[in-house]
Amino acid sequence: MSPLALLGIFLLFFLGLAMCFKVPVGYSIGMATLAVLFFDGLSSKILCTVAFSGLDSFPLLAVPLFIFAGAIMQYSGIAAALIELIDSLVGRLRGSLGAVTILTSAAFGVLTGSCLATISCVGGIMVPEMKKKGYSASYCAALAAAASFLGILIPPSVPGIMYGLCASVSISQVWMSTVGPALICIVAFMGINYFVQGRREEKSTVRITFPLYIKNVGTAFLSSIPALIMPVIIFGGIYGGIFTATEAGAVAVVYGMIFFLYKKIFHKNELTSKFLGLTLNAAISTAAICILIDFSNCSGRVISMIGIAEAIKVFVTAHIASGAVFLIFANVIFLIAGMLIDINAAILLIVPLLLPTATAMGINPIHFGAIILVNLSVGFITPPFCSSVFMAQKISGARYVDIVKDVMPFVIASLVVVLLTTYIPAISTFIPNLLA
């Protein structure tokens, strides 16, 4: 059979199992891979070797380490300290609670790298506070959902590790490539928040002297120092040449444990039961990602063996002369993938298919990675299948239809950021090149 026909069989089995029969994505990929082997008459014995060798990877150790470190920081009360610090800085502006939600979500993403963890912690605190100040429940949910995907774009993040491993490029450069798009998203979201909510609010009439303002900021800063030190250690160590991204994950775990014990001993927080729970959750998340990586490695090897990626490259280069047109095609694919399947699955499944074509057209793999990560992140809030919106709905109690209406300005702004990232490469490559 032709490679493109086999690709059709793979997609038919994968989408049928995952969407119609609700089979977990990892197992759907594995069964679709076996179907391709069956129809092409290939032996499945090679999959055993591929499955083992795919997990026998030192850089891959960064995944469970950062997942565990993020879980520790999530349950250590860091979110409240970050909210207090950012509120002390911008709390007197119109629409300040919305601004605090956006900025705290970005900062919290540095510690957890997780979209849903950001909604759970930051949204769980800020949504009730915004509702008390007169924000509609649907707008609170929309804002929390939109701000949460900043946790994926602000490094470190597991999807960044996945792309780095899949594309065989520097993980630290992939992380830095999404900082520019994230900063543009932050500015855009704060602008939307001001025009939607801030203009309705009365400016605070309570006078505060500059010395008192500095005192409040200083007090909040001292309480949030543990949260602020972690990214300094991680990125200072990586870009100072002290340790690799994988070793940075181990350092993050050690630092998180020290902070956890500090909270337990000196603040008398009842964290023991939470620690057991977060350890279990981190182990489950790691196991799920390892299964996903295993089957994705198998599908990648099969795709390489039967020449699907090469066939796509030949077809695209024959029919699409411009890299700019190809990027539109890639944007649509990854945006839809972000709406339908897990972000790590989308990276492991689609990158091996499209990256050879992208590099053949002269597209920088780091730039392409930034485009992919921004697209997949926007998929979290793009209706109808928007996991972040569903999570925010549980916190706010608002109707799904109302949240979708309020989240659309953020979706439109995010799509503009996607286009800017796509067609102005410097947005994603400037910082990696600066730090290289």
User: Mind giving me the DSSP string for 95-158?
Assistant: THHHHHHHHHHHHHHHHH--HHHHIIIIIHHHHHHHHHTT--HHHHHHHHHHHHTHHHHSSS-H
Q: Are residues 202 and 330 in the same domain?
A: yes
Instruction: Give the model's pLDDT for residue 425.
Output: 94
Closest C-alpha among 296, 173, 163 to residue 245: 173
Mean pLDDT of 64-70: 85
- At 220, the amino acid letter reads A
pLDDT at 205 over 60: no
Q: Are residues 330 and 371 in the same domain?
A: yes
Instruction: Give the DSSP letter of residue 199.
Output: G
pLDDT, tens digit, 9 for 90 and up, residues 1-17? 788 788 888 888 887 88
pLDDT, tens digit, 9 for 90 and up, residues 235-282? 888 878 888 888 888 998 888 888 777 776 666 555 566 777 778 888
User: Are residues 105 and 150 in contact, defined by beta-carbon separation less than 8 angstroms?
Assistant: yes
Q: Are residues 27 and 126 in the same domain?
A: no
3-class DSSP state of 189:
helix
Q: Are residues 19 and 63 in the same domain?
A: no
Q: Are residues 39 and 182 in the same domain?
A: no
Q: Are residues 7 and 84 in the same domain?
A: no
Q: Which domain holds residue 15?
A: 1-44
d(CA 316, CA 63): 33
DSSP H or E segment with residue 400: helix 400-423
Q: Are residues 207 and 263 in the same domain?
A: yes
429 pLDDT band (50/70/90 cuts)? very high
Between residues 230 and 78, the one the model is more confident about: 230
Tokens of 210: 């500059």
Instruction: Give the model's pLDDT for residue 412.
Output: 95
Instruction: Give the model's pLDDT for residue 204.
Output: 56
Domain boundary among the residues 28, 44, 60 is at 44
Q: Are residues 227 and 114 in the same domain?
A: yes
Between residues 410 and 89, the one the model is more confident about: 410
Instruction: Give the model's pLDDT for residue 200.
Output: 62
Instruction: Give the DSSP letter of residue 70.
Output: H
Q: Are residues 27 and 129 in the same domain?
A: no
pLDDT at 49 over 70: yes
Task: Kindly report which listed range (126-135, 198-207, 255-264, 400-409) carries the lowest average pLDDT score.
Answer: 198-207
Q: What is the pTM of this model?
A: 0.86
| Residue that has been written with the tokens 């409240």 in this structure | 80
Q: Are residues 19 and 69 in the same domain?
A: no
What is the total count of domains within the chain?
2
Q: Are residues 262 and 392 in the same domain?
A: yes
Q: Are residues 109 and 236 in the same domain?
A: yes
pLDDT, tens digit, 9 for 90 and up, residues 304-342? 788 878 888 888 888 887 888 999 999 999 998 888 788
What's the mean pLDDT when you consider all of the chain? Answer: 84
pLDDT, tens digit, 9 for 90 and up, residues 91-147? 677 778 888 889 888 888 777 777 877 887 788 888 888 888 888 999 999 999 999
3-class DSSP state of 270:
coil
